[in-house]
Amino acid sequence: MTKKTAKSVYSVSPESALELLSINEMRWLIEQSRGEMHELIRRCVLAVLNSGSALDNAKEILEKYHDFDVELSWQRRGIRFELFNPPTEAFVDGEMILGMREHLSAVVRDLVYSPSLFNTNNNGELKDGKKITDFIFRILRNAETVSPGRRPNLVVCWGGHSISEKEYKYTKKVGYEFGLRGLDICTGCGPGVMKGPMKGATISHAKHRNTQALYLGITEPGIIASEPPNPIVNHLVIMPDIEKRLESFVRLAHAIVIFPGGVGTAEELLYLLGILLHPDNQSIPLQVILSGPECSRGYIEQLDQFVKDTLGDEVAQYYQIIIDDPCEVAKVVKQSVNTLTEFRLEHSDSFHFNWRLKVSEEWQLPFEPTHESMSQLNLSRQQPAHELALNLRKAFSGIVAGNVKPDGVSLIEEFGPFILKGSEDISHSLNKLLTSFVADKRMTLPTREYVPCYRIEAI
């Protein structure tokens, strides 16, 4: 596409790490953005400019803005983004909103610029676990999301983008209580649960005149279009894939609160429990709370029962359930953060990145959901609990892909639903949980009629 065929063209200056580049760096960046990375950059830039969209299907968003494109150009005062036919909501009187400009810069910074600093442009070549963790840390550090001057105070909040109004208001109340206690918020950056705690915390941080509050959003290219960054996010990080995104969450977290959601939330919970179940992580303090309003009690109890049925009753020791009590959630989190701080002081651990946590390589290497890989998952009890958790996490990840990710949606359209094969007891528990998600409209936004992208077979 060229400027001659574009209906509208906007020229935008970057923010943050892309503001100060040498001429050689700018030329290299432009060259990279025109190569194999171009389509990935285009999709992610479109996603951040589409914040507030009512769509949660990345394929539909890409089709709606099929004539959108982005080019990088340079001038001696700095690099520029040339945007062709972008969503007009990102602009006010022809000027791009500052938050959008920051997020726009984050796309190129995290997908192109940051990897170039660490001598790796292809994350698929990262096979060694320690190198993967080091790579994750460097991306986070280059994005200025880890700061040695901060005491532990970051609460990771997980949950769905398709939730009820009562559930959304509850997350805001919890976020407000967090802010009153000086706690910062980290989410998956999108709408729903990813926005609610941040929105609640803005009020209490304002009461404390806290202008340094952190609202950290961590996403990845496959999900960002269906869950574009909400406007409260003031630090956006785009990790290369879902595995590095999940590891970022658990290594940054000083506490984790899980609100109502769907398969993405179940994936996050299984990922976390699998890590905590690993023998090397038994002594590491990390408060995990499942919480929601009274109307969500059934959902939380069902999720609780599912992990007990599949991983064993002992898994319940790794989390606490608090129903309909935002103040209690915040009090427990605050106390647990104090305990964690004492632990890290005693062991001379980093405040801002949990290097001590053991994350095995099989948890770090990207899982590509295909009909073959999904059907080959080991969904039986004939393995340690933390390995079963890994395979269940992959199953949920594949369903997320089939629901909203462009490549996954295309696979389902072409070849039909993914087939998941498991032992009779695991299949029964999994089917029961997913059926409840469908009935409660937790798979996609309620405006869409959901057709399952999966089928479960007992073997």
> How confident is the model over 264-294, as pLDDT tens digits?
899 999 999 999 999 899 889 999 999 999 9
Answer whether 30's CB lies under 8 Å from 109's CB: no
- The CA distance from 57 to 77, in Å, is 38
Answer whether 230's CB lies under 8 Å from 192's CB: no
Supply the pLDDT for residue 124.
46
What CATH number should be reported for the domain whose range is 136-346?
3.40.50.450
Answer whether 379's CB lies under 8 Å from 395's CB: yes
Tokens of 227: 């869950």
At the fourth CATH level, the homologous superfamily of domain 9-96 is: MoCo carrier protein-like (3.30.1850.10)
Supply the pLDDT for residue 122.
47
Task: Put the strands of the sheet holding 78-84 in their side by side order.
Answer: 9-12, 78-84, 69-75
Could you tell me the residue ranges of all domains in the chain?
9-96, 136-346, 362-458
- The CA distance from 95 to 247, in Å, is 36
Range of lowest pLDDT (63-67, 178-182, 281-285, 357-361): 63-67
Supply the pLDDT for residue 8.
83
- The CA distance from 455 to 394, in Å, is 15
> How confident is the model over 103-123, as pLDDT tens digits?
888 888 888 877 776 654 444
Average pLDDT, the chain: 87
Tokens of 281: 């992580």
> How confident is the model over 33-59, as pLDDT tens digits?
887 788 888 888 888 887 765 555 556
The helix or strand, by DSSP H or E, that contains position 372, with its residue range, turns out to be helix 371-375
Answer whether 288's CB lies under 8 Å from 272's CB: yes
Nearest in space to 99 (alpha carbons), one of 84, 89, 114: 89
DSSP state of 319: -
pLDDT band (50, 70, 90) for residue 4: very low
Global pTM value: 0.88
